Structure 1
């Protein structure tokens, strides 16, 4: 992409640098801010990294925007579970991240893959350069059904449903140990773990978080459970189950044993239910358990039968 260059006139006189970049490059303020942080904005030939810098009359503003859409990797194959004029529901494989965190990150992502399916999604969302159409996310190690908005109107509706906890999000997981109860609720606030900024922990001053669980099947030393989210905090299921002494199989970050499943966490987004943003009907889509997780259950069932 060729650099954008403009001489500051009356329209941008006195504007903050991030606001000016947003206007000149036609991107959101947050994308503009990241572009500045990456050293891609020059004022009078000098790199400027202060987003609050005020522009003067006659300043030469140059913006070297990196490609707005991450590079698509041809090996990414997404199974489409539902598709219409407003929605794209895909079956996310484990190991694939949902979106990049910076404009310079060219790691293959689910976001880049859906833009290859529908290029129009590239303009949808609060920050389409990084998260086109993405109103929710799944952890890299989590598989299963995930929704993407195809229009801005659908994005607004779906984001509101997430915020109001109106979506039905149901997961399947294998946890260590046998739960005492067949079903129950975990109501424990979550926040960033002060000892590790990449982890989440149950903390008194954290955000409200509620998870419902139901045991589907019991094995010797393990429980196969259905989990329904009332809220959708980062790592919510993983932290909640670990907090009650039943970490997810394969979840090294929260105390899970990887011996049964080395390459991922046993967590699958099984059901997604939502109000259709166009016609208002309730839509529910299910993703079948992937083969690598089914194989673990078969192994445990066989082990239990032999005991």
Structure 2
């Protein structure tokens, strides 16, 4: 049986998809849009578009189909666990591991690995049990995952409220100057290629902050903090200012030294959802990135 939720809007001039995602943080915005398009989310008893602007007092009816848990099989995929408690785990994701099933990647994902390690997630259900944020398939490093629906909702809210500090190590082509800077440029779908993102006037707000760690001949190693979590944000922002990420074939060019994009989730700080304790973790560069970096010539 589908789960039915009825909400009364407490906000005005807010998109329906954004409002519903905020109320059900365990469900992705893309999934929310699917439900809206399929007529499973209604405003005052009528179907609406994802972009429909709701008003204070509107009644939002949400009908959630049974969780497609049968499509998410548990798999014995090994994970490097940095930290673990009853509510969450912090993993060091290897490159090549997709976060969750998608067209072309029905299994062998981080979600399948989580269900194998934490079978209680299957019982909790949800669209993507345990997943509160994602890293690109070829990005390595730290991720936090939830072990219960309650923890998932709480951690998702921290990401939404921008209370989570996310810092990456990134190598780019060229000499980045000045040594510190902030990039504020909206990101949306590329107008000519729907598989890519781009800086666009009608995109969603995006903010990144960088600092030079070291210069190499032809390259710069950066520490990048992102304040928003847009798809491909770091890669798009840096390419937009003329410094494409090394090894990034989508927004830059192929590299003989780096078989994948040089982006590593280096530091992650957030609050334990139940105790309120501040947690912070660090992951050193993945071996393949370290090997490529060792072949570069550092500059004084």
Q: TM-score range by the shorter chain?
A: 0.7 to 0.9
> Cα offset for 1:126?
4.3
> Cα offset for 1:152?
1.6
Please say if residues 67 and 126 of structure 2, whose CA atoms lie closer than 8 Å, have aligned partners that are also in contact. Answer: no
The Cα RMSD (Å) is 2.9
Partner of 2:291: 295
Please say if residues 3 and 66 of structure 2, whose CA atoms lie closer than 8 Å, have aligned partners that are also in contact. Answer: no
Which residue of 270, 273, 279 corresponds with 2:269? 273
1:175 aligns with 2:172: yes
Partner of 2:94: 93
Pair 223,197 (structure 1): closer, same or farther in 2 beyond 3 Å:
same
In 1, distance between residues paired with 2:133 and 2:125? 11
Equivalent residues in 2 for 1:104-119, closer than 5 Å: 106-119=106-119
> Cα offset for 1:114?
1.1
> Cα offset for 1:256?
3.1
Equivalent residues in 2 for 1:20-31, closer than 5 Å: 22=2
In 2, distance between residues paired with 1:293 and 1:96? 16
> Cα offset for 1:247?
0.6
Query: Of Structure 1 and Structure 2, which has the larger fraction of its residues in strand?
Result: 2
In 1, distance between residues paired with 2:226 and 2:271? 16
Partner of 1:253: 250
The gaps in structure 2 that reach 5 residues or longer are 5-23, 41-64
Please say if residues 124 and 150 of structure 1, whose CA atoms lie closer than 8 Å, have aligned partners that are also in contact. Answer: no
Partner of 2:154: 157
Where 1:199 maps in the other structure, the secondary structure is strand
The two structures have a TM-score, normalised by structure 2, of: 0.76
Where 1:114 maps in the other structure, the secondary structure is helix
> Cα offset for 1:110?
0.4
Partner of 1:141: 138
> Cα offset for 1:249?
0.6
Pair 297,107 (structure 1): closer, same or farther in 2 beyond 3 Å:
same
In 2, distance between residues paired with 1:232 and 1:66? 26
Pair 189,117 (structure 1): closer, same or farther in 2 beyond 3 Å:
same
**Aligned length in residues:** 249
> Cα offset for 1:224?
0.6
Cα displacement string for residues 107-151 of structure 1 (whole angstroms, at most 9, x for unaligned residues): 210011011111112244741xxx111010000010101011111
Where 2:120 maps in the other structure, the secondary structure is helix
Which residue of 198, 210, 215 corresponds with 1:213? 210
Please say if residues 70 and 109 of structure 1, whose CA atoms lie closer than 8 Å, have aligned partners that are also in contact. Answer: no
In 1, distance between residues paired with 2:130 and 2:126? 8
In 2, distance between residues paired with 1:248 and 1:283? 29
In 1, distance between residues paired with 2:277 and 2:106? 37
Please say if residues 176 and 256 of structure 1, whose CA atoms lie closer than 8 Å, have aligned partners that are also in contact. Answer: no
- Structure 1 residues 252-261 or 176-185, which shifts more? 252-261
In 1, distance between residues paired with 2:39 and 2:273? 38
Where 1:144 maps in the other structure, the secondary structure is strand
In 1, distance between residues paired with 2:167 and 2:138? 16
Please say if residues 71 and 108 of structure 1, whose CA atoms lie closer than 8 Å, have aligned partners that are also in contact. Answer: no
The gaps in structure 1 that reach 5 residues or longer are 1-20, 38-49, 54-62
In 2, distance between residues paired with 1:125 and 1:163? 21
